[in-house]
Every structure is written in structure tokens, then in C-alpha cells.
Amino acid sequence: MDITHILALLGGLALFLHGMQMMSSGLEAAAGNRMKNILERLTANRFLGVLVGAAITAVIQSSSATTVMVVGFVNAGMMTLNQAVWIIMGANIGTTVTGLLIALDVGELAPFFAFAGVAMMVFVKEPKLQHIGQILAGLGVLFLGMGMMSDSMVPLRESESFIRLMSTFSNPILGILAGAGFTAVIQSSSASVGILQALANSGVIGLSSAVFVLFGQNIGTCITAVLASIGTNRNAKRTTIIHLMFNIIGTIIFTILFLLFPIAQVIDGSIVLQGGVGSFLSNLLPGTPAGQIALIHTSFNVITTLLLLPLGNYLAKLAVWILPEQVHEQEEGTMHLEYLAPVSASGKEGGLGLSAIVVDQLRNELHRMLSMARDNVEAGFEAVLARDPGRLEAVEQREEYIDFLNREISRYVSHLISIETNEQDSRVVSSFFTISGNIERIGDHADNLAGYTKMLVAKNIKLSPIAQKEVEQMRDVSLEAVTTLLDRQAGGPEWLVDVAQIEQKIDDMTDEYRRDQLIRMRDGVCSDEACILYSELLTDFERIGDHVLNIAQELTKSRTNL
């Protein structure tokens, strides 16, 4: 094998992996949010969950991406651990599609797919059609790379040292470790199986060695979900344990079966599958090495799913046993992110499925932040009404926490905006940045309210009974406004109208109370210092309404909720 073949191999590998990346990016931009919504809603029934997981993964051609999304939903509390089991099983079936396409040798049409896709990307202005073009171009580039790899590896059949290396993989342990390690590095079982098929088609590796590498590839693909679970809650980590257990159990079963009952034999120089499933499926695909690997890959995941489907709930219980509940490591009162890992420690890169995790986690973190701001609004008004500076410390501590969350959420949003490709998710993420800033400003005004108690006590300022009543009304309307944002049905046009009406009510009350204040000043009922303080209080009251409306408008634009 000379330098020309080595360069061709590297070039083919580059095209293959780039094609996979193009397809994933195009699918994420075209339909990432829809896929997320489907996974969220259609997981109650185990059979439906398996079908949905298989269908989604067949479309995006990445079980890792599907599992990463599931990890995010479990972490956000939107999916139970038992529901996650069915999606993971289906994802393992859906990931076999790439291998089946390669086995069917649709690579003959690769140049057409690449040309059609690039033409759509260059000449069509409609964004959705451009994304579809990116998917087609990625598919074409993938198969062009596959062809280059297969052709470049043909001379390796004459290399005794390389053949000896490949033959060592007939040792089950070595083969499984090699497959798991390589797949963990490139983080795509579809890509690693495709490369294995290219090696087999070139005659470099035999089926007896390839099967164990294939089993290891199913284990190695779990690494992406493992990385995605860093910084998530224990249930999300258990989801990755279930993913690992599924593939490890399948590998153990099939390794024993292949050692005890080989299902392949050589007939007239060609490898042929035998046995029930093998003989049935061998009629559906070409009798090539790539076809045989695709058949085994499909059989592995389908049969393992059928065997473990009745035991899904026990897998969830086993995951809980492996990773039991423990006392929360955070000390009481310590500022921390409840749903997000700090950006510097998250280790997450861009790719399909990232936004599905982070968007839901950000939403929950913002909900938590807004709840704190609401508590401070209530405490701020109560401190004024009670003329109690002792309540100021609790408000200031919560205000520091709100500022901390705003900083961390802003870092996360900045990171996600730089890598997000889906237009819908990009709008949602951008709105989160604005929402976080407005929540922080609500917290500031609540802190101002509580701070007025110092002046009330220090200068012995007393509000008139009428002013006291007005402050109580301001408190009630402010809490109504902020609480409306916490409604899980938030984000619709009619809801926005309701929020706008509350904000207008705040503006009207502010104007009315200012007029009443002028009358009290004229009548000498209100002292100068009391009037100044009350005027500042009205300003904070009005600003709270403004920020509530800003948040509501962002929620409606992005069609999301807190």
C-alpha cells in the first residue's frame, strides 16, 4: 500500500465523516425541534416508545443524538426513566439504517445526490429547501467517501502484517475492545459500522473478526450520552447506564451465540449467513460482506430489543440500584445551578441533540430564577408595609443568588448561540438571554423596595393610611403579574393580551397614585421625605410591570414557556 492509497483512504474517511456531519446538521436545522417534540409526547406506551425511538434515529442516523435528547428530557423532568428505556431500545434499532443503505449499494447514486444537494444549497433561497439540500449533499458525500475508502483498502489484502492484525480481532475480547474504542473516538456507531463495511468489502477483514468489532461498536456509541450526562441529575445519569446495559447485555448474548453456534459459513468462496434470522434476511440484501455485517447489526439490535422489552422496567430499577439516591452534595444556601452544569465544566460541544438538552434545562433554570424574583417582590413590599429592616438581609441574599443565576445563564446562552443551527431553537435561546436580564432587573427593583425600610426607620418616616393601602394594592398586582409568567401555559397570543392588560393596569395605578400623592402633598398630609420615598417606590412598581411585559413578549415570540 503506497502513499497514494494512504491519501485516498484518509480522503475517503474525511468525506465519509463530513457527509455524516452534513446530514446531521441539515436534519438538526430542518427538523430538530419537531423531533424533540415527538420524543417528548409519544413515550407513554412501550411499543410506541420503541417505534418512535427507531423512527427518529432512522431519520437522523444517530442513536447517540437520540439518546442525548432523552438524557436531556429525563434531566429536565419531562420524561421518566421508564419511558427513556423504550426510546433507547428503539434508537438502537434505528441506527442500523445507515448500514442497510450501504449494503443496498445505493452509492451508485452518490454523485447524483451530491450534485442535487449542492445545487439546492447554492441556487435555492428557501431555508427549508436548503436544509434538505444539505441532507442530500451529505448523503452523497458519505457514499463517495465510502467508495474511496473501499477502493483504497484493496491493496491491504496483500499485506501480511495488516491481515495478521485484522485476524487478531477474531479474539472476541480484542475485537470488542477495538470496536468500542474506535467508536468512542469518533462518537458515531453509524460511521464506524460504515468503515467496518468498507474494510470487509475490500477483503481486509473477515466476518469472523468483523462481528466482534461490530459488537464493540454498539458499546462505544454510548460514550456520547455519557459525556452529555456530565453535570445532569442522577436520573439522567441512570439513562446512560441503561443505554450501556442494553448494548453490553446484547454483546454478551451474541458473543456467546457466535462462539457456540457460528451463523456464517463459506460457500463457493462467499460468506453466507445461515440459521433462521440469517437465512430470512439474506434474501433481502446483496450477499456482500457489507450486506452480511448490516444483517448482523440489525439482528443484534432487533433481537436484543425483543429479549429485553419485557424487562425494561427491571433495567430501570437496576440502573437505580447501580446509582442509588444520595444526600444532595450542595450545602444548604450555597449558590449553584440546579439544572445546568457550569459552562467551563460541561464539556459539551455542538451537534445534534445539544439544544434539546440545554434548552429545557435553561427553561427550568429561568423558572427557578423567576420564582426567586417573585419571592423578593413579595418580601420587598412586605418589608415596606411592616417597616422592618430585618427582612432586608433575606432579600439581599436572594438578590445575590438571582445575579449569580443571571451570569451563569448568560454564559450558557452565549455558548449555545454560537453553535445552534436550528432556527426555532436559535430564537428560543436568544429570547432566554433577554428574559434572564429582565428577571434580574425585577430582582433589582424588589431589592430597592426592601431597601426603603432603612430610610423609613432611620428617619422615622410613616406612610399615611391611604398610602399604606395603595402599597398593598401595588404588592397584589405586582405578584399577579410575575406569577402569570410562571404559568406553564405561557407564550400564547391571548395570554400576552392578559399580561399586557396587567401591565397597563400597573401604569394606570402609577398615574393615579402620583396624582393622589400630589393632592396629599398640597394638603400637607405627606411629609417631603415620605413623598420622595413614595415616588421612588412608584417608579420601582412601574418598572416591574415593564419588565414583566418584556418577558411576556419574548415568551410569545419564541413560543416557549417558563
Per-residue pLDDT tens over the stretch 482-520? 999 987 666 777 888 999 999 999 999 999 999 988 888
Nearest to 5 by CA among 139, 141, 130, 156: 156
Helices (H), 202-288: 207-220, 223-228, 234-260, 276-281
Q: Which of 43-57, 316-330, 430-444, 541-555 has the lowest mean pLDDT?
A: 316-330
Q: What is the pLDDT of residue 35?
A: 58
Predicted local confidence at residue 462, as pLDDT: 84
Q: In 270-423, at which residue ranges do the beta strands (DSSP E only) sit? A: 270-273
- For the four alpha carbons of 119, 123, 126 and 131, in that order, the dihedral sign comes to positive
Q: Are 422 and 28 in contact (CB under 8 A)?
A: yes
CA distance 86 to 103: 27
- The string of pLDDT tens digits covering residues 15-56 is 877 876 777 667 666 655 565 566 656 556 778 888 888 887
Tell which phi-psi region holds residue 412, choosing left (phi > 0), alpha (psi between -120 and 50) or beta: alpha
User: 76-80, 299-303, 459-463, 502-506 — which one is most confidently predicted on average?
Assistant: 502-506
pLDDT tops 60 at residue 443: yes
Which residues 6+ apart lie within 8 Å of 510 measured at CB?
Answer: 538, 541, 542
Please count the residues of the chain: 562
Give the pLDDT mean for 419-430.
68
Residue-wise pLDDT for 377-423, tens only, equals: 999 999 999 988 888 889 999 999 999 999 988 888 887 777 655 56
Q: What is the pLDDT of residue 275?
A: 45
Domain with CATH 1.20.58.220 in the chain: 343-558
Note the pLDDT of residue 31.
56
DSSP secondary structure, 272-287, as one string:
EE-SHHHHHHTTTS-S
Percent of the chain with pLDDT over 90: 23
pLDDT of residue 105: 61
Q: What is the pLDDT of residues 327-365, one digit of tens each?
A: 444 444 567 788 776 443 334 444 444 555 677 778 888
pLDDT in tens, 512-544: 999 988 888 887 777 778 888 899 999 999 999
178: CB partners within 8 A, 6+ apart = 169, 213, 216
pLDDT value, residue 224: 73
pLDDT confidence of 474, banded at 50, 70, 90? very high
**Does domain 343-558 match CATH 1.20.58.220?**
yes
How does residue 313 score in pLDDT terms, banded at 50, 70 and 90? confident
Of 7-11, 309-313, 546-550, give the lowest mean pLDDT range.
7-11
Supply the pTM of this predicted model. Answer: 0.61
| pLDDT tens digits, 360-379 | 778 888 999 999 999 999 99
Helix (H), strand (E), coil (C) string for 286-311: CCCHHHHHHHHHHHHHHHHHHHHHHH
Give Cα separations from 150 to 74, 204, 218 (angstroms). 41, 10, 22
Cβ proximity of 436 and 411 under 8 Å: no
Per-residue confidence band for 138, with pLDDT thresholds at 50, 70 and 90? confident
For range 103-117, the mean pLDDT: 76
Give pLDDT, residue 30.
62
